[in-house]
Amino acid sequence: MLNVDQRALPRNSEHREFVLAQLRCASLRVRLLLIEVDTLGFGVRAGFIPPENAIEMLDDMGALDLVGLPPMEVAG
């Protein structure tokens, strides 16, 4: 279940508008992530971004688990 305090949410039409606004924000965040991942892929394909850096950037974006890469060994 959600960790949302139900008392903190507006009710009725205000509640619906609040949820719709949050869904619009989520949609925009997903679109931005898609653009960032696509751009990263183009950079790797063109040779501008080394694969190791791309993996780090995916991790920084919070998208590493979406890619399904095997765990990297840490040198050291």
* Tokens 């688990």 found at: 65
Tokens standing for 10? 């507006």
**61 burial class (0-12, 13-18, 19+ CB within 10 angstroms)?**
middle
Tell me the per-residue pLDDT of 7-22, one tens digit each, with 9 for 90 and over. 665 568 888 899 999 9
Least confident of 2-6, 21-25, 41-45, 58-62: 2-6
Whole-model pTM above 0.75? no
- Give the residue, 3 or 55, on which the prediction is more confident: 55
The Cβ of residue 40 has, within 10 Å, a number of other Cβ atoms equal to 19
